């Protein structure tokens, strides 16, 4: 079930062919899932997924939805739910698979609704989604009829969730590579649209991340960057001394004007912020599909405008920019 044959078949037929041996090498060297303690359990869960016969899939609505020809019996529904729950925690979604609603921690559809109206049409484009998580947004991109969507993310659990969904929706033009951005070929300048959503603040060197993103884009290609920001003026950025909203690996939260300056400095033009909104408590929350703590537990119980550490509560902004060179 997990293999990259379809990805290689696709790129062999396009100008991405020149990087085929790079990807073969990286996947051969880095992809050793059996070294992950949970891999066998996740793989068993994947093999337990039932064959539901003829299905129709919809990618253009809040939940990625799969509908069987005939509704499932109560027993079959329970069996399907148990197999999917074995891939807990489900963070990015939602999905609705043959009557089983995967109510993920995040309403990732809300993010997509904030992004999609502001970007160039994705039809016929080659897209890269850096830090794609479970692949929820990749499936939403498929609704726009791109030429291909490549998602990269080193998380093996999220990759297994992607393959679980692919089991039902079939091979679309979406391909998941379990690698980090640092393992992409240098200076590719190949993609028409590159998404980096929820990644920048996890990078120790935000400028290097922006330059890496620019070098993945063809000249004139579009970057869609979504990240945490703070209220403030040009030049301001928050560097949390310890954790931020309980996350240990948060490095830089710029103000919107600072973010725009960083993008311009790193070779982007036509830079604009197209959305900026605080994260609502009902956008990120614990559910049956993600039973651990969530946003409510990361905020000051007496003042939800602050994180538990006393920093401004999460505000997320979307920036769109063009690769100038
Ligand atoms: C906050 S999540 C964002 C997921 C999704 N893009 C979204 O906006 O909902 C950040 C993702 O970046 C991934 N990630 C971490 N290091 C990465 C790297 N070096 N290259 C690419 N992705 C990475 C994580 O595994 C995680 O899935």
Amino acid 30: pLDDT: 76
**Residue identifier of the C-alpha nearest atom 1 of ligand 1:** 198
Mean pLDDT value across the chain: 96
Ligand 1 atom with minimal separation from the 129 CA: 6
What is the average pLDDT across 299-324? 98
What is the average pLDDT across 111-126? 98
CA of 154 to the centre of ligand 1 (A): 8
Amino acid 2: pLDDT: 87
Q: How confident is the model at residue 285 (pLDDT cuts 50, 70, 90)?
A: very high
Asked if pLDDT for residue 121 goes beyond 90, the answer is yes
Q: How many CB atoms lie within 10 A of CB 78?
A: 12
CATH number at residue 296: 3.40.50.150
pLDDT digits (tens, 9 = 90+) for 233-267: 999 999 999 999 999 999 999 999 999 999 999 99
CA of 198 to the centre of ligand 1 (A): 6
Amino acid 316: pLDDT: 98
93 CB within 6 A, ligand 1: no
CA of 133 to the centre of ligand 1 (A): 6
The CA-to-CA distance between both ends of the chain, in Å, stands at 39
What is the average pLDDT across 21-40? 88
What is the average pLDDT across 36-52? 92
**Residue identifier of the C-alpha nearest atom 22 of ligand 1:** 131
245-251: long-range pairs with CB below 8 Å, 24+ = 245/295, 245/298, 245/299, 245/307, 245/308, 245/309, 245/311, 245/313, 245/314, 246/293, 246/297, 246/298, 246/307, 246/308, 247/298, 249/202, 250/201, 250/202, 251/201, 251/202, 251/203, 251/204, 251/206
Enter the pTM of the model: 0.98
Q: How confident is the model at residue 32 (pLDDT cuts 50, 70, 90)?
A: confident
Residue with the bigger pLDDT between 216 and 36: it is 216
105 CB within 6 A, ligand 1: no
Amino acid 35: pLDDT: 78
Counted domains in the chain: 1
165 CB within 6 A, ligand 1: no
Q: How many CB atoms lie within 10 A of CB 214?
A: 23
CA of 60 to the centre of ligand 1 (A): 23
pLDDT digits (tens, 9 = 90+) for 190-237: 999 999 999 999 999 999 999 999 999 999 999 999 999 999 999 999
Amino acid 293: pLDDT: 97
**CA dihedral sign of residues 220, 222, 227, 230:** positive
150 CB within 6 A, ligand 1: no
Three-state SS sequence of 14-29: CHHHHHHHHHHHHHHH
**Residue identifier of the C-alpha nearest atom 8 of ligand 1:** 197
198 CB within 6 A, ligand 1: yes
Amino acid 90: pLDDT: 98
Range of the domain at 169: 5-323
Ligand 1 atom with minimal separation from the 132 CA: 6
Amino acid 325: pLDDT: 77
């Amino acid at each position: 079930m997990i293999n990259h044959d379809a990805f290689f078949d696709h790129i062999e037929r396009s100008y991405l062919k020149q990087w085929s041996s790079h990807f073969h090498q990286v996947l051969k060297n880095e992809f050793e899932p059996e070294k992950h303690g949970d891999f066998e359990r996740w793989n068993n869960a994947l093999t337990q997924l039932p064959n539901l016969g003829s299905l129709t899939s919809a990618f253009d609505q809040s939940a990625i939805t799969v509908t069987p020809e005939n509704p499932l019996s109560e027993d079959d529904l329970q069996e399907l739910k148990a197999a999917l729950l074995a891939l807990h925690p489900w963070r990015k979604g939602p999905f609705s698979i043959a009557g089983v609603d995967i109510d993920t921690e995040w309403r990732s559809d809300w993010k997509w609704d904030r992004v999609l109206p502001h970007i160039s049409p994705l039809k016929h484009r080659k897209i890269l989604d850096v830090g794609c998580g479970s692949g929820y947004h990749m499936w939403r991109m498929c609704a726009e009829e791109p030429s291909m969507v490549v998602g990269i993310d080193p998380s093996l659990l999220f990759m297994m969730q992607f393959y679980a969904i692919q089991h039902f929706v079939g091979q679309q033009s979406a391909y998941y590579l379990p690698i980090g951005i640092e393992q992409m070929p240098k200076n590719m300048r190949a993609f028409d649209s590159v998404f980096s959503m929820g990644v920048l603040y996890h990078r120790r060197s935000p400028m290097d991340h922006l330059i890496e993103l620019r070098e993945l884009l063809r000249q004139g290609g579009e970057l869609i960057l979504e990240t945490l920001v703070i209220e403030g003026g040009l030049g301001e950025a928050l560097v949390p001394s310890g954790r931020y909203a309980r996350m240990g690996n948060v490095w830089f939260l710029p103000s919107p004007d600072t973010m725009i300056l960083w993008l311009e400095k790193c070779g982007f033009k036509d830079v604009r912020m197209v959305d900026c909104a605080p994260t609502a408590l009902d956008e990120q929350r614990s559910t049956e599909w993600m039973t651990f703590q969530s946003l409510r537990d990361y905020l000051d119980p007496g003042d939800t405008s602050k994180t538990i550490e006393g920093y401004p509560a999460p505000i997320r902004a979307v920036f769109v920019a063009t690769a100038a060179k």
